[in-house]
Structure 1
Amino acid sequence: MPSNNSRDGFKVLMKLRPNEITDEKQPAFYLQRPKILTIYSCRHDSISSDVHLPYFKKPTSYPLDLNEGFDQFIFRQNKKSRLRKVEKFIMENEENHLQPDAHTPSGSGQTQNNSKRKVILCQRGVLTDIMQTPYHLNASTSNNKTFCVTKYCGVFHMQEQETITNFTQKDTYHQKFMQLCFSDDPNREPETDKPIDDNNLIFCIIKTSVKEFDLIYSAEIAGIVSDRKIENTHNMEEMNKLRFILTKQLNTNGIMGDYLNHRKCLRWWLQAYLAKTSDVCVGLRDQNGIVRTPVQIKRAEDIAKNRKWKPHVCIRFLHSVLKLVEKTMTQVDCPHTVYEFMYDSITRCIKFKVHAGKTDLSFLSDDYIRKCKQSASH
């Protein structure tokens, strides 16, 4: 529990000691295999079940200029609606995911017991930020990570802190690379001259578990590898059999040796792992945004091999943080109160601040709050 107060109003929860949290000798445990529950198409503020999956088409003509179309690029809007996809799924689904059975599903490889399971609703980005922390401890503003938690009806709701981003041209390279690699039809080449709207996205709602915690979260996906058109995206049994792929581009300026040792590659692997994605298409660009060499397709599982970072260390740290959040918020039951958790790389500690009652940080919608209350009463 809190050891002292800092001048910014935060209370220190835990000091992080590198040798302890990266200890590879501790018993390893893993996430239950992630399962897709549904897929949504998001266009600005609209969330729809009418989804048309993009199809991966490996580029054949080089160089690829990631600057093309920048003058027409529509940047993503910063909205306080990041948990809306998960809220929509919970509200529209007949199964009561907020009150899971006390027993762990058979075959999960995890201990079955009668203790109540804990439900976490969040975004993949929150999980990724937490899981990469053991290897991003050094003092740097880029290593500082903050997430907000509201506990209501026994359910933990976790959301990334709202930030204001000053976009640059380099921030468009990822979406341009995606456009060059995906088509609306497996039998057609990508349409690369259309304006890119970064507010048109596809998300999966995914469920997994780690020990006593059930995690339901949204994750943005890029597309699939398939030579046939997928007409029915409502059949989750078929959706879970698809081969998903994500695209990543990396500035090779200053990189020596294997580029997969770059610190970004840990995040690539975490994003793929959490989104049931088996492949990563990598484009190596120069500092001017030009990909001059053929893209490389990497199996996500191969990215994790022979690295300084270890998957089970990331997963163990996630579990430790979830336990810490649970312990800190034991007495909390309010749909508006927000606990702001932060990893401070300068002091190398996890700290928190309480925002009681309804504030600008409150993020649960009124409709969801009503659904949550109904589910808890059943």
Structure 2
Amino acid sequence: MSGKEKEIAYWGYKFEQYMTSVDGKQPPDTNEALNNNEAYFSVVQSDINDHSLMYSGEVDCCIDDVQLQPPSNYVELKTYKVFDPTVEREDYKFKRYKLSRWWAQSYLLGIQRIFVGFRDENGIVQDVKNYQTSELPEQAKDKKVKLKRWDII
């Protein structure tokens, strides 16, 4: 990765640190050094016809709610640059490249919510939006540009 790519990755890890805490009750400790080597993984088994698949993926955090059981309480955290959705090219790139990847990553693990921190060019989060994984294909539909990636969903 280039120096800029490493910096952007750091911003993502820092966003995760700001959005999570150790026990879900205490405020996040944003002064603690980042450790991106720690992670939680979910192991999932799925069946397709006569084939059984087992795979795993990283889970960023979970919501502490006794009414929600895994994986319904799992949450994915992402960052993306602030963009103007009225600018066709920027809107297209977000829908084509980000929403489809986020959907695939989250859907396969049963993650129902994705929180996105929209950051400026200095890595400062300006806004946080909550996306429902199941709604991403509908949100990505674009009347001007046919997004073939979503045709199978």
Instruction: Report the TM-score, using the length of structure 1 for normalisation.
Output: 0.34
Larger Rg over CA atoms: 1
Give me the whole-angstrom Cα distance separating, in 1, the residues matched to 2:151 and 2:104.
8
Q: Is the 8 A contact 2:82 2:120 kept in 1?
A: yes
Distance 1:183 1:254, change over 3 A: same
Counterpart in 2 of 1:296?
129
Aligned pair partner of 1:177 in 10, 15, 36 = 15
The CA deviation at 1:227 is 4.4
Give me the whole-angstrom Cα distance separating, in 1, the residues matched to 2:39 and 2:119.
24
Indicate whether 1:267 and 2:105 are aligned: no
The CA deviation at 1:262 is 4.5
The CA deviation at 1:169 is 1.1
Q: Is the 8 A contact 2:71 2:110 kept in 1?
A: no
Structure with more helix by fraction: 2
Partner AA of 1:312 in structure 2 = I
Q: Where do residues 339-378 of structure 1 align in structure 2 (5 Å cutoff)?
A: none
Counterpart in 1 of 2:55?
217
Partner AA of 1:298 in structure 2 = Y
Structure 1 unaligned blocks of 5 or more:
1-164, 229-237, 314-378
Distance 1:311 1:172, change over 3 A: farther
Counterpart in 2 of 1:312?
152
Q: Larger relative contact order (C-alpha < 8 A, sep ≥ 6)?
A: 1
Distance 1:245 1:311, change over 3 A: farther
Q: Where do residues 1-378 of structure 1 align in structure 2 (5 Å cutoff)?
A: 165=1, 168-227=6-65, 239-240=69-70, 242-253=72-83, 256=87, 258=91, 261-293=95-127, 295-306=128-139, 307=141, 308=147, 309-310=149-150, 312=152
Partner AA of 2:42 in structure 1 = C
Distance 1:281 1:251, change over 3 A: same
The CA deviation at 1:271 is 0.7
Q: Give 3-state SS (helix, strand or coil) of 2:105's partner.
A: helix
The CA deviation at 1:181 is 0.6
Q: Is the 8 A contact 2:71 2:109 kept in 1?
A: no
Moved more, 212-221 or 302-311: 302-311
Give me the whole-angstrom Cα distance separating, in 2, the residues matched to 1:263 and 1:311.
15
Q: Is the 8 A contact 1:186 1:227 kept in 2?
A: no
Give me the whole-angstrom Cα distance separating, in 1, the residues matched to 2:77 and 2:151.
21
Structure 2 unaligned blocks of 5 or more:
142-146
Q: Give 3-state SS (helix, strand or coil) of 2:64's partner.
A: coil
Q: Give 3-state SS (helix, strand or coil) of 1:292's partner.
A: strand
Residues 185-223 of structure 1: CA deviation (Å, up to 9, x unaligned): 222111111111111111111111233432111100011
Give me the whole-angstrom Cα distance separating, in 2, the residues matched to 1:183 and 1:311.
38
Give me the whole-angstrom Cα distance separating, in 2, the residues matched to 1:209 and 1:312.
18
Give me the whole-angstrom Cα distance separating, in 1, the residues matched to 2:65 and 2:42.
21
Partner AA of 1:300 in structure 2 = T
Residues 153-188 of structure 1: CA deviation (Å, up to 9, x unaligned): xxxxxxxxxxxx556211212111111111112221
Distance 1:227 1:206, change over 3 A: closer
C-alpha RMSD over aligned residues: 2.5
Partner AA of 2:81 in structure 1 = N
Identity %: 24
Q: Give 3-state SS (helix, strand or coil) of 1:171's partner.
A: helix
Partner AA of 1:185 in structure 2 = D
Q: Give 3-state SS (helix, strand or coil) of 2:39's partner.
A: strand
Give me the whole-angstrom Cα distance separating, in 2, the residues matched to 1:267 and 1:198.
21
Instruction: Report the TM-score, using the length of structure 2 for normalisation.
Output: 0.78
